[in-house]
Amino acid sequence: MYYNVSNMGLSNIVIIFIITLSGSANLFLAVYAYAKNPKERINRDFFYFGLLVSLWCFTNVIDLIIRNLFWLRATVAIGFFIPLGGIFFAHALVGKTMNKLIKILLIVLGIIVFLTNLFTPLLIESLISFTDFGFEVVFGPLLGIWSALEISFILASFYIPLSFIRTTDEQQKRRIFFFLVGAAIFAIWFLVVSVALPILGYSQFSELDSPASIFLVGFTGYSIIKYNLMNISSLFFIAITYSAVIISIVAFLLLLLFISSFFFSHLMVWPIYALVMLVSLVLFFIGRLFFMEKKDLEQAKISLTEFLKKSESDRVRAEAERDKTAAIVSSFSDGLILLDYKDNIFSINPAAEELLGLKEKEFIGKPLKSIIPSVKITKARAIMSVFGDGLKAIYRQPVKLADNLITEISVIMLTSAGKDMGHLIILHDITREKMVEKMKTDFVSLAAHQLRTPLSIIKWSISMLTKGDFGKLNKKQDEVVRNTFQSNERLISLVNNLLNVTRMEDGRYLYKRAKADMREIISAVLNTNKDEFEKRGIIIEYKRPVDFPEIMIDSEKIKIVIQNLVDNATKYSPRARKIKINLQKEDNGIRFEIRDFGVGIPEQQQGKIFQKFFRADNAVTMNTIGTGLGLFLSKNIIEAHGGSIGFKSEENKGTAFYFSLPIK
């Protein structure tokens, strides 16, 4: 009995550590695979296989510690089950069922060999001595049979997955490949150190076989992580595996350090060692070539299939999108003409077909101008007026397509990521709105006309009364009648403004420009308001400029502006007595300013002063008559002339309104 723990060298401790690690890793992997999915056959069979490997490793550890014949025999005996287990697992790996009879026969054979090895000297007859990594023994007569069985079982366990590999799918092939590489390194190593060398008489390092099972664990772990072998991959597993691999590599390097001294003293082991490594490498690369070439092709095929699938689904989705867009476009109540980036017609929706009186299919892919000969002359002319010089972005431009058909045409530039995608032309039928608008305007005009007639009668009557046409009035009568006249004047002015606004909004406020003298207009307005100034005791401070340029304006409209400004200045100067008017020439234009010293405009309301119907609070409370239309109208008139209007005001200090007009 060589029971010599105290003499155990450092190399023994390292190898024990590695075998323990390898056994633990195998055990962990086996239990983990089983726990993750106990119902799956491959997981279950892997569990048995791993259990066997770890059992062998642990027996080996005991053997290395106790070092007696029994544990040596036990290690060898259990070791025989590994290729046997390999055959079982190989079937599970490729999903093949084993013949029951063969199964039972193999198990029986295994048990016989195991028992023979363990309890008889037929394989290991007697122990001579233990070495650092093995032992020196006298082999029994069964060595040959045992070796033959061992080799054939190992070959069988590899033959099965390799012969079935063609029928399995690519994903499965890849999973198996790495497991087989690990198994192959383990098997070759085992065959060399525990079968070939002992036959040749070198059993000194046969204990180095079980550490090689770490390769099995390593490659299986890789396959689990990379290709989800046995469907048990998880973050936890990945972490455990990587740590195990790192520890193994470190331990193995340490082991190599010790082995090297041994190898130096046994020079003949070198070529064998090199051969093992070479065979492993060749095996690995051949296998890799065999699998990976297919894999690349397969990968390409899979990629292509997936791409086709994706593009198919993209196409379906795009078609659905297109159909949806087409449905929206075709059911849109506005006429839509879509032009591509070359401004050729891409689509004309039914509403546009109806509005223009043409058929979409005749014009697809043709330039926009191609529709001209097919539409009625009035429509063609209208379209040409808008698109004649090429397309440019326009927004709601009213275009009369026919006598009873008015549309607002908008042209929208379509861009995507700064790239020109074409144009969208929108034809919005506003015939009805225009009709309603016209009715409204006609009504207002008529109403205004009807209002003006009685106002004129009042005006004329009172005017003639004050002029003494119906006899001289006494002072009181004269005063009353004059006041009545002024009130009537205000009413007339209100009606005038209301009419002007209506017409302006209707687009019928035509501007007829002609050369005019601003000085004349101002004088005329001041003259008209003379009575009012007198009545209120207002003094106008106005220095009529000599030598003033004529400007291109619609005098009547500018007169309305000045009248409104004068009127405001007068109305809102309840106490003040002075209104300053200034007319001056500017670069390329003229500037008119009227300044009063009246109530002013409250600061927070200044922003709204040009809004229609807006009247400042202090103006409303003053009980003056006003519609809130004067300034709205004035702003529109000035801006229509290409000028600008503005004001400066301070409450209770006064207001200055000013406008500028260009000479031309």
Three-state DSSP at 647 gives strand
**Applying CB under 8 A, does 492 fall inside the site for another protein?**
yes
Q: Which range touches another protein (CB under 8 A), out of 29-37, 382-390, 404-412, 461-469?
A: 461-469
Q: Can you read off the two tokens belonging to residue 54?
A: 């770890």
Other residues' Cβ atoms within 10 Å of the Cβ of residue 443: 11
Residue choice 268, 436, 510, 625 for contact with another protein (CB under 8 A)? 510
Residue choice 39, 467, 475, 476 for contact with another protein (CB under 8 A)? 467
Q: What's the CA gap between 367 and 1, in Å, rounded?
A: 105
Element of type H or E holding 516: strand 514-516
Residue 517: closest CA among 564, 569, 559: 559
Q: What's the CA gap between 236 and 252, in Å, rounded?
A: 24
Residue choice 376, 381, 452, 648 for contact with another protein (CB under 8 A)? 452
Q: What's the CA gap between 479 and 592, in Å, rounded?
A: 34
CB of 615 to another protein, least distance (A): 23
Among positions 595-624, residues that touch another protein (CB under 8 A) are none
**Applying CB under 8 A, does 361 fall inside the site for another protein?**
no
Q: What's the CA gap between 72 and 74, in Å, rounded?
A: 5
What letter would DSSP give residue 604?
A: G
**Applying CB under 8 A, does 369 fall inside the site for another protein?**
no
Q: Which range touches another protein (CB under 8 A), out of 110-118, 149-157, 494-502, 579-587?
A: 494-502
What letter would DSSP give residue 357?
A: T
Residue choice 301, 366, 449, 543 for contact with another protein (CB under 8 A)? 449
Q: Which amino acid is at 9?
A: G
Residue choice 126, 415, 453, 604 for contact with another protein (CB under 8 A)? 453
Q: Which range touches another protein (CB under 8 A), out of 116-124, 208-216, 322-330, 463-471?
A: 463-471
Q: What's the CA gap between 148 and 159, in Å, rounded?
A: 16
C-beta closer to another protein: residue 68 or 466: 466
Inter-residue contact 191 to 280 (CB < 8 Å): no
C-beta closer to another protein: residue 506 or 651: 506
**Applying CB under 8 A, does 509 fall inside the site for another protein?**
yes
Q: Which range touches another protein (CB under 8 A), out of 86-94, 169-177, 366-374, 490-498?
A: 490-498
Inter-residue contact 492 to 452 (CB < 8 Å): yes
Element of type H or E holding 619: helix 617-621
Residue choice 261, 456, 477, 523 for contact with another protein (CB under 8 A)? 456
Strand pairing class (589-596; 551-553): unpaired
**Applying CB under 8 A, does 24 fall inside the site for another protein?**
no
**Applying CB under 8 A, does 627 fall inside the site for another protein?**
no
Residue 370 has φ and ψ, to the nearest 5°, of: -65, -15
Q: Can you read off the two tokens belonging to residue 108?
A: 């029986």
What letter would DSSP give residue 192?
A: I
**Applying CB under 8 A, does 523 fall inside the site for another protein?**
no
CB of 586 to another protein, least distance (A): 29
Q: Which range touches another protein (CB under 8 A), out of 106-114, 275-283, 362-370, 451-459?
A: 451-459
CB of 533 to another protein, least distance (A): 18
**Applying CB under 8 A, does 499 fall inside the site for another protein?**
yes
Q: Can you read off the two tokens belonging to residue 49?
A: 């296989």
Residue choice 496, 618, 627, 644 for contact with another protein (CB under 8 A)? 496
Site string for another protein, 429-448 (x = CB under 8 A): ----------------x--x
C-beta closer to another protein: residue 38 or 468: 468
Residue 181: closest CA among 208, 153, 214, 219: 219
Q: What's the CA gap between 229 and 191, in Å, rounded?
A: 26
CB of 589 to another protein, least distance (A): 25
How many residues at the interface with another protein, by CB under 8 A?
Answer: 24
C-beta closer to another protein: residue 250 or 510: 510
Instruction: Give CA angle at 625 (621, 631), nearest 5°.
Output: 95
Residue 532: closest CA among 491, 594, 487: 487
**Applying CB under 8 A, does 455 fall inside the site for another protein?**
yes
Q: Can you read off the two tokens belonging to residue 650?
A: 């301070």
Residue choice 322, 342, 438, 508 for contact with another protein (CB under 8 A)? 508
Residue choice 102, 364, 435, 464 for contact with another protein (CB under 8 A)? 464
Q: Can you read off the two tokens belonging to residue 24?
A: 């633990």
Residue choice 295, 490, 503, 585 for contact with another protein (CB under 8 A)? 503
- Which residues fall within 8 angstroms of residue 50, CB to CB, at 6 or more apart? 26, 27, 29, 30, 31, 33
Residues at the contact surface with another protein, assessed by CB under 8 A: 445, 448-449, 452-453, 455-457, 459-461, 463-464, 467, 469, 492, 495-496, 499, 503, 508-510, 512
